[in-house]
Amino acid sequence: MHSISLPPGSHDALAVDQLFCGTLDWDAHPYYQAMRGLQVSAHFFIERSGRLRQYVDCDRRAWHAGASHWRGRDGCNDDSIGVELHGLEGERFEDAQYRRLAWLVRALMQRYPLRFVAGHEHIAPGRKSDPGAGFDWQRLQGGFAGSGLYFPPHR
């Protein structure tokens, strides 16, 4: 689980979509200069409206985790599915995003042996803090009681 907003604080999903499609105009905003040449991808992006976009097939690696460690293993891109929520670390997320995320997790559980859900903050602590304090882990977890799905401890 990640969060992303381009530029930070923007609720327009166009720049995020362009980033994941490789078409972002690096000169369109001063913030993008620090990102120029960044190669990043995600399997899914959930807009604030709940609209779901898929960029990478789940059977292929996406480049969303970066330097990471989880469950005793490095390189979380190798065995994870990256879901980006449109929003800024610390911001609250929309009801529509939680509904779509729960739907997506259920769909993924039907196809893959999904056992863990974690945030970027859990797999890259000290380096990343998303989706952040605004993400309601208990709300998401509540919909999966008895499913065997593991969620990180809540703050």
| Active site residue ranges | 84
**Spacing of C-alpha 109 from chain mean position:** 17
Q: Which two three-digit tokens encode residue 25?
A: 């105009």
3-state secondary structure 107-118: HHHHHCCCCECC
Q: Which amino acid would we find at residue 117?
A: V
Q: Residue 106, SS3?
A: helix
